[in-house]
Structure 1
Amino acid sequence: MSILDQAIAAITPPESEQDRREATAKAEALARPGDWLSQILGHHREIEAQFERLRTAAPAERTAEQKRLGLLLTAHSIAEEVSVYPALAADHQVGHAELAYQEQSAAKMELGLLERLDPASQDYHDKLEHIRGAVLHHIYSEEGTWYPKLIESAGPADQARATARYGEEYARYMGQDSQLFTR
């Protein structure tokens, strides 16, 4: 973790597990089967589970688990970036949309840097925990405030567009690699 990252972490401590559970419950209460929010919530849970698989994997297995995490995060982020973030901006949440793009770009860059580290090293573990913390915070922001506001204020046409586009983009990126997540 860089000195800047450490300073930011010191003045803005992460939300608690209880805060995260409450944010998730709030979003789940607003989601409808098959809508964009329910798809995203499912992918958030998959991302969290994949982080845990990577964290607990033996060093020799980490490269494969990291590849799965990268695939899942990238498919998810691309789908959000072309479907939901424009809807956030149209819903007068431009700042949230811009922050979300920045956070996802940073996570992808950090994953690329993680690939350069020895999977058995402490540096690898530290970088992974930094990425995990950033992604969990991003999920918390989406589930706790941004997405509930969007669900409550966007009209039916915007909801339908976000649902269709999110599903299309996620499937397009995952392609044949989606079998990596059938366990």
Structure 2
Amino acid sequence: MSVVDKVLGKITPMPNDEKRAEATANARAIASRDGWLWMVLDHHDQIRACFEACRDAESAEDRVAAMKELAVILKGHSLAEEVVLYPALAQAGEKMHAGHAYSEQTTAKMQMAEWENIAPSTPQWKDKLEHIRGAVLTHMYEEESSWFLHLKDKADRQDHLTDRYREEFERYCGESADGGMGRSAAQDASRGDGLGAGMGA
């Protein structure tokens, strides 16, 4: 772990499972089922499941496949946040939180690029997975427990945010009935096109 990683860990300590679950439940309680926040929470659930699939994968081939699936949902989700939700957060008077959110996702993208270059059969691959997982789960906790609650409360044109978030997510991931990866994105991931350096939450 680099010096920068250690410093960031002290600034933003990782919440435990109980706190993360409580934040998700509280956010669900104020989200409408057809709104942007509900979609974000669904994507967060999918991201958590993809991380678990990466942790459970044993062979190098299975690890690469799980990593690619994770990368697709992370990229589509992070792009939608960066194009739609973070600007809205800044416009709602939360510029510091918006800037912090962008910074964290940029760091995650850099970590993802490093992870891609690590041989999946090595212990270093699992170490990097755990590092990225911890950072992304903490980032999602910040969104669910604070940033996006402010956005839900303060932002005008909530329907517009929903339409735009969906549009940007589907632009990358494709349309899917459950709000997750579309068929085209999943096919790209299986071919090895969906990884890249795009990562965040």
What's the TM-score, normalizing by structure 1?
Answer: 0.92
CA distance in 1, matches of 2:47, 2:37: 15
Q: CA separation in 1, counterparts of 2:34 and 2:122?
A: 41
- Displacement of 1:118 in angstroms is 1.0
Question: Residue 127 of structure 1 corresponds to which residue in structure 2?
Answer: 128
AA in 2 matched with 1:45: D
Deviates more, 1:128-137 or 1:13-22: 13-22
Matched, 1:26 2:26: yes
- Alpha-carbon deviation of 1:37? 0.2
Higher fraction of helix: 1
In structure 2, runs of 5+ residues without a counterpart are 176-180, 188-201
Q: How much has 1:9 moved relative to structure 2?
A: 2.7
SS in 2 for 1:150: helix
Q: 1:154 to 1:13 in 2, by over 3 A?
A: closer
The one-letter code of the counterpart of 2:130 is E
1:79-118 matched pairs, under 5 angstroms: 79-118=80-119
Compute the displacement of 1:109 (Å).
Answer: 1.5
List runs of 5+ in structure 1 lacking aligned partners: none
Does the 8 A contact of 1:75 with 1:173 survive in 2?
yes
1:16 alignment partner in structure 2: 16
Q: TM-score, normalised by structure 2?
A: 0.84
Q: Distance in 2 between matches of 1:153 and 1:12?
A: 25
Q: 2:163 aligns to what?
A: 164
1:169 is paired with a residue whose SS is: helix
Q: Counterparts of 1:57-76 in structure 2 under 5 Å?
A: 57-58=57-58, 59-76=60-77
Q: CA deviation at 1:105?
A: 1.4
1:121 positional shift: 1.1
Q: Percent identity at matched positions?
A: 44
Provide the rounded CA distance (Å) in 2 between the counterparts of 1:11 and 1:33.
34
- Please give the per-residue CA displacement for 1:102-138, whole angstroms capped at 9, x wherever unaligned: 1111111111110110112111111110100000000
Aligned residues: 179
Moved over 6 A (4+): none
Task: State the secondary structure of the residue aligned to 1:32.
Answer: coil
In 1, Cα distance between equivalents of 2:84 and 2:161? 5
The whole-number CA distance in structure 1 between the counterparts of 2:92 and 2:46 is 27
Distance, in Å, in 2 between the alignment partners of 1:171 and 1:79 is 9
Give the AA of the match of 1:175: G
Contact 1:32 1:38 in 2 (8 A): yes
Residues 107 and 135, structure 1, Cα contact 8 Å, conserved in 2: yes
Alpha-carbon distance in 2 for matches of 1:88, 1:10: 25
Contact 1:83 1:161 in 2 (8 A): no
Deviations 1:30-64 (A, max 9, x none): 11011000000000000000010011112321111
Superposition deviation, residue 150 in structure 1: 1.3
**Which shows bigger deviation, 104-113 or 133-142?**
104-113
